[in-house]
Amino acid sequence: MMYPWQGQAFRQLAGERGRLPQALLLQGPQGLGKTEFARHLAQALLCESPLPDGSPCNACVACNWFVAGNHPDFRHLGVEDEAVDEDGAGDTSPRKGSPQIGVDAVRGLAGFTTTSTHRDGLRIVLVEPAEALNVHAANALLKTLEEPRPGTLFLLVSHAPARLPATIRSRCRAVPFHPPRTPEAHEWLVQSGIANPVLFLALAGGAPLEALRLARQDSGQRAEFLRRLADPSQSLVQLSEFVARLPVPEWLGWLERWAHDLVAQKLAGETRYHVDFRDLSARVAAHADLYDLLAWERTLRDAKRLVHHPLNPRLLAESLLVPLLAMR
C-alpha cells in the first residue's frame, strides 16, 4: 500500500532497481506511512513483472507470496519479534512489556542472508522502528552492514533517527519523509471520512495517518482534559483521578502539545496543536512565566521515555501536573 504523498519517493527508488545501496533509512515523523511505503517498495523490488512505473503487478508468484505474508526472500523485524531461527523463521510471539528489538532477532538473520534466494532476485529485510533495536541488536546489525552480502537490501524505518547509532546511519542512504502539503493532506482525510481535518491534522503535526488515528479515537476526552487543566476550581487530586483513567501515551501527548502551545503563545501569540483551544491557551499563557513553561515542557519530553515503564499512572500524572497548576 502506498499513499498519495509518497509517489515521488517511490518512483525515484523503484527507478534505481538493481542499483540500490545495501541499506535505506526511511526517516521522518510518525504518521506518514513509512512502514507501508517500505512494504510496498519491498514487494515492488521482489515482483517478477513490475508495471512500467515500477509498481508491483500483484499477479506474479512473488507478489502472491508477499501479499500472503510468506515470501521466502523477505523478513520483517519489529518490536514483536522475540526469537528467529537460523533460516529466519521462528517464534514471533509478542514480547510483553518490551518496546525493543532484541539481538536474537538480528542474529537469526544469519541463515537468511547467507543462503541463495528462492527466486534469483533480492532478499529484503525490513526493520521497524529501527530505534527500537537495543544496544546488542544494533551492534549485531552493524556487523551485518559492515560485511554486506550481495543481493541483500535492508530497509530501516525510523521515527527518531537521532536515536540510532551514528555508525548505523553512516552505512545507510537516508530517505527523508516530510508531511505532505496541507491541501493534499486535508483532501485525503476528507476522503477517509474525517469531518474536521484541520483540527486533527494540527494535533498530528501535519502527519495524515496520525491525524486519522486521532480523529477515529476521539471521544471528547481530550477537550474535557484541556478544560479541566484551565479550570482553577480543579484540584490536583481531581485532575490526577481523571487522567489515571486514560492511556498514558494519550494524555501525555496532549499535555506535551499543550505545553508547546503555551510556549508558542508566549513567544509569538500562536497555537500550533490544540487549535480549537486557541483562546484558552492564550489566557493561560498570559499568567505563566516563560522560563517556567520551558522547564515544564522539557520535563514532559523527558517523561515520554517512561511511557512503557510500569509506573503508577496517578503518581506520574500528579508529578507532571504540579508545575502547571502552580502557574495557573
CB burial of residue 197 (10 Å; 0-12, 13-18, 19+): buried
Angle (nearest 5°) at CA 206 between 201 and 207: 95
96-110, 115-129, 268-282: range with highest mean pLDDT:
268-282
The tens digit of pLDDT for each residue in 94-103 reads 334 457 899 9
CATH number of the domain that residue 249 is part of: 1.20.272
CB burial of residue 214 (10 Å; 0-12, 13-18, 19+): buried
- What residues have CB less than 8 Å from 96, skipping those under 6 apart? none
Say yes or no: 146 and 21 in one domain.
yes
Question: In the prediction, which pLDDT does 30 show?
Answer: 93
**In one letter, which amino acid is 122?**
L
Say yes or no: 318 and 235 in one domain.
yes
Overall average pLDDT of the 24-36 stretch: 97
Say yes or no: 51 and 171 in one domain.
yes
Looking at residue 123, what DSSP letter applies? E
15 within a domain of the structure (yes/no) = yes
49 within a domain of the structure (yes/no) = yes
CATH number of the domain that residue 80 is part of: 3.40.50.300
Instruction: Provide the grid cell at 177.
Output: 519523509
CB atoms within 10 A of CB 269: 10
Give the CA count within 13 Å in the CB-facing half-sphere of 229.
29
Helix axes 278-286, 248-268, angle to 10 degrees: 70
Identify the three-state secondary structure at position 271: coil
The tens digit of pLDDT for each residue in 162-187 reads 999 999 999 999 999 999 999 999 99
C-alpha closest to that of 102 among 79, 131, 129, 76: 79
Say yes or no: 171 and 227 in one domain.
no
Say yes or no: 9 and 90 in one domain.
yes
Identify the three-state secondary structure at position 268: helix
What are 124's strand-pairing partners?
A: 74, 153
Overall average pLDDT of the 292-318 stretch: 85
Number of H helices and number of E strands within the chain? 16, 5
Say yes or no: 137 and 268 in one domain.
no
Cell 509506573 sits on residue: 311
C-alpha closest to that of 2 among 57, 55, 65, 71: 55
Question: In the prediction, which pLDDT does 252 show?
Answer: 93
- What is the percent of the chain with per-residue pLDDT over 90, rounded to a whole number? 76
Name the domain count of the chain.
Answer: 2
Overall average pLDDT of the 34-57 stretch: 96
- Select from 126, 158, 178 the last residue of a domain: 178
Question: In the prediction, which pLDDT does 149 show?
Answer: 83
Phi, psi (5° rounding) for residue 158?
Answer: -140, 130
- What is the percent of the chain with per-residue pLDDT over 70, rounded to a whole number? 93
State CA 224 to chain mean position distance: 26
